[in-house]
């Protein structure tokens, strides 16, 4: 699941950043067609259509949290991760609409990120205590990480994808684009910043930060899809 999400994160961030308005949702009949194609055939085009056609739902839910410290665009990005998780796990045979299930997943994703942001924006150590067991002994994240062969293989794949992303950032982005992406998404151990916070640090407008971010994400998206960006 983690590797599946990671392989699509650049696509999602690029899509959210470039969207000015969102299309109308699918009819129940068409939604069923795309859900079946994705569930049975792992049809990525069908999945992408489901994402696109449900972005209006993400934006609607994100508005509920507009008074929080998060920017609206950040909330939509977070909500989109909840949407893709919903599409990954949705069982269309249950007889309910995707939107009903997705709304809960989107809400949960936003609330989870907001709760984590209140605690700390910094990375925690794998050995840092995160709770106690039934006997009152402290447990860390490392204690609950699985170590099956399948999980180990998945972790290796995730690390390879992360390395690729960092390589693309170092090789294909300008210095300003690197800084924007690193600080916007909390890479390299940095604290993730909103566009407004980053604009204040760089001494430029929020809209200029947004343009730089969109251009950088388009470059990274092309790198991951194997396209040559040298002539762009």
At residue 2, the pLDDT reads 40
How far apart are alpha carbons 47 and 86 in whole angstroms?
11
Higher pLDDT: 153 or 65? It is 65
Query: Does one domain contain both 108 and 159?
Result: no
Bigger pLDDT: 104 vs 9: 104
Residue 134 lies in a domain: no
> How far, CA to CA in Å, does 72 sit from each of 16, 57, 69, 79, 187?
11, 14, 9, 10, 21
Q: Which of 100, 94, 109, 105 is nearest to 39 (CA)?
A: 94
Q: What is the CATH number of the domain that holds 98?
A: 1.20.120.1810
Residues 51 and 13 reside in one and the same domain: yes
> Could you read off the pLDDT of 72-126 as tens digits, one per residue?
778 888 888 899 999 999 999 988 899 999 999 999 888 888 777 665 444 444 4
Q: Position of tokens 């699509």?
A: 8
8 Å CB contact between 51 and 58: no
Q: In this structure, what CATH number is given to the domain that contains residue 183? A: 1.10.10.10
What Cα–Cα distance (Å) separates residue 203 from each residue in 126, 179, 193, 198?
A: 36, 13, 14, 8
Question: At 142, phi and psi to the nearest 5?
Answer: -60, -30
The answer to the question of residue 137 being in a domain is: no
Which among 159, 189, 158, 184 is positioned nearest to 173, based on CA atoms? 184
Strand ranges, E, within the chain: 129-132, 138-140
Asked whether residue 184 is assigned to any structural domain, the reply reads yes
Q: pLDDT tens-digit profile of 22-44? A: 778 899 999 999 999 999 999 99
∠ CA 12-83-142, nearest 5°, is 85
Q: How many domains would you assign to the chain? A: 2
pLDDT score recorded for residue 67: 66
Question: How far is residue 125's CA from residue 129's CA, in Å, rounded to a whole number?
Answer: 9
Q: Is residue 128 part of a domain?
A: no
Range of the domain at 21: 2-119
Q: Check whether residue 151 and residue 114 sit in a common domain.
A: no
Nearest to 19 by CA among 223, 229, 218, 228: 218
Average pLDDT over residues 50-65: 89
């Amino acid at each position: 699941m983690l590797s599946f999400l990671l392989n699509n994160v650049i696509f999602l961030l690029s899509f959210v950043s470039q969207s000015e308005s969102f299309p109308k949702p699918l009819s129940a009949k068409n939604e069923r067609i795309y859900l079946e194609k994705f569930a049975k055939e792992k049809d990525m085009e069908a999945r992408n259509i489901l994402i696109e056609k449900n972005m209006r739902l993400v934006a609607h839910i994100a508005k509920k949290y507009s008074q929080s410290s998060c920017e609206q665009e950040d909330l939509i990005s977070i909500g989109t991760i909840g949407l893709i998780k919903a599409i990954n796990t949705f069982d269309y045979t249950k007889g309910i609409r995707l939107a009903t299930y997705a709304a809960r997943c989107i809400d949960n994703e936003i609330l989870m990120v907001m709760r984590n942001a209140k605690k700390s924006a910094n990375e925690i150590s794998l050995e840092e205590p995160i709770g106690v067991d039934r006997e009152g002994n402290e447990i860390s994240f490392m204690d609950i990480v699985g170590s099956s062969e399948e999980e180990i293989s998945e972790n290796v794949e995730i690390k390879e994808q992360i390395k690729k992303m960092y390589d693309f950032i170092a090789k294909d982005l300008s210095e300003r684009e690197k800084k924007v992406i690193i600080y916007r998404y909390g890479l390299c151990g940095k604290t993730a910043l909103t566009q407004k916070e980053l604009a204040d640090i760089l001494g430029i407008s929020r809209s200029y930060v947004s343009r730089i971010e969109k251009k950088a994400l388009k470059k990274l998206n092309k790198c991951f899809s194997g396209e040559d960006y040298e002539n762009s």
